[in-house]
Amino acid sequence: MKKFVKVALAATCLMTAAVSQAAEPFKIGLIIPMTGPFASTGKQIEAAARLYMQQNGDEVAGRKIELIVKDDGGVQPEATKRIAQELVVQDKVGVLAGFGLTPLAFATAPIATQSKTPMVVMAAGTSSIVQKSPYIVRTSMTLPQVTAPMGQWAAKEGGIKSAVTLIADYGPGHDAEKAFVKNFSEAGGKVLDSLRVPMQNPDFSPFLQRVRDLKPDALFIFVPSGQGSTLMKQFTERNLAGQGIKLIGTGDVLDDDLLPAMGDEALGIITSQHYSTAHDSPENKAYVEAFRKMTNNSMRPNFMSVGGYDGMHLIYEALKKAGPNANGDQLLAAMKGMKWVSPRGPMQIDPETRDVVQDIYIRRSERLADGQIYNVEFDVIKEFKDPGI
């Protein structure tokens, strides 16, 4: 009898321990700009992350998932770092995620390393980010990855002989500039000048005047998501198109989030990127419909949204594979080499670099049947890895 009581007691204790462990949610700390000049990035990522949870539930392998969203304002790396530190120390998050811009990801990398917490970069695109911590995994894109195909296409298929580059003066812009100059030149094109515009509150006008004077066949642009409208407006005001100067760039300038508000000046522009709302696949049709429904038709999903959606997928699948109580190292190991079909097309995490491998599309902006402008894909470079710089 005594023995029975003891065994029963021990079993109860064990059960209580198991239950209390299971009752502790797995927390994802999502740090994104929800205010400030890059708020569209945060809004897109948050909507996509919530959509993913709505579709896949808030429990994985029996463990509840809690999403903690923190607004870092997008412009102060130290603020992002401090938020990450708090999330790790106080909230005990299992994963850090988000990172709207490169400097914010750079600043947070040491926190991921010290705390052995996987850090899922859903937005930032400077090539070297994954090298800043062995705990970083990326679901967005890299600038050399999206730019190299554009440089090749411009010289080989686009009939463009000369170009000027104009980029936002920080990490991803420098990457885009180097990748374009290298690929365009190697394919026979001539770069007449490379211009860098300040990243905060940019005024493109004086730079566009210089481009007008140089009269290249094309102007290659990289600006971070959110700045495309200003650039397009100033490009149109200076009437560069009227001078025979074609605008080309990475997809960031003709961001799907901004396109509905742009006019005819945004038609016929060639860009390269890994995602378009108009991507023709059953997975993407379902994604766009669900995203629009969830946001009451107020938003069109852009490339930032799929970074968030796929980042959540990566976290969910890693938890399924490594088990609901896996530690940071085990989750990271599960993320490496993961492959799936995203709304953007097939994608995978390179097990060596922890960076995203994906298809890059060449697109032309066109007005489709619903009267809106979309980036319509017409060429693809399959399973393209970050070529680095």
* Count of residues touching ligand PHB (by CB under 6 A): 9
Minimum gap (Å) between residue 172 Cβ and ligand PHB: 4
Does position 224 interact with ligand PHB (CB under 6 A)? The reply is yes
Cβ closest to ligand PHB, residue 26 vs residue 361: 361
Q: How far is CA 95 from the centre of its chain?
A: 17
Q: 252 with 150: CB under 8 angstroms?
A: no
Q: How far is the CB of 330 from ligand PHB (least distance, A)?
A: 28
Nearer to ligand PHB, 126 or 305 (CB): 126
Residue 257 binds to ligand PHB (criterion: CB under 6 A)? no
Cα torsion through 163, 272, 124, 296, rounded to 10: 130
> Residue 218 in 3-state DSSP?
strand
Q: How far is the CB of 75 from ligand PHB (least distance, A)?
A: 11
Kindly write out the interface string for residues 198-217 of this chain, putting x where it contacts ligand PHB by CB under 6 A and - elsewhere. --------------------
Q: Which two tokens stand for residue 361?
A: 């599309």
CB 199 within 8 A of CB 174: no
**Residue at token pair 């799936």:** 340
Q: Rank residues 36 and 324 by Cβ distance to ligand PHB and give the closer one.
A: 36
Q: Tell me the helix, strand and coil percentages in the chain, rounded to 5.
A: 45, 25, 30
Contact 224, 251 (CB under 8 A): no
Minimum CB distance to ligand PHB smaller for 101 or for 331: 101
Judged by beta carbon, residue 34 or residue 101, the one nearer ligand PHB is 101
With CB under 6 A as the contact rule, the residue among 33, 94, 98, 172 that binds ligand PHB is: 172
Q: Positive or negative, the Cα torsion across 121, 377, 195, 186?
A: positive
Our CB check for ligand PHB shows the closer of 32 and 334 to be 32
Residue of the chain from 252, 257, 355, 386 that contacts ligand PHB (CB under 6 A): 252
Question: Of 377, 353, 350, whose CA–CA distance to 365 is shortest?
Answer: 377
**Selected binder of ligand PHB within 133, 152, 225, 358 (CB under 6 A):** 225
Residue 33 found at the interface with ligand PHB (CB under 6 A): no
Beta bridge partners of 197: 168
In whole angstroms, the minimum distance from the beta carbon of 225 to ligand PHB comes to 3
Q: How far apart are CA 138 and CA 109, in angstroms?
A: 12
CA torsion 328→334→336→340, rounded to 10°? -130
Q: Which of residues 89-148 bind ligand PHB (CB under 6 A)?
A: 101-102, 124-126
Q: Which is nearer to ligand PHB, 217 or 355 (CB)?
A: 355
| Contact indicator for 223, 252 with CB cutoff of 8 Å | yes
The site for ligand PHB (CB under 6 A) is made up of: 101-102, 124-126, 172, 224-225, 252
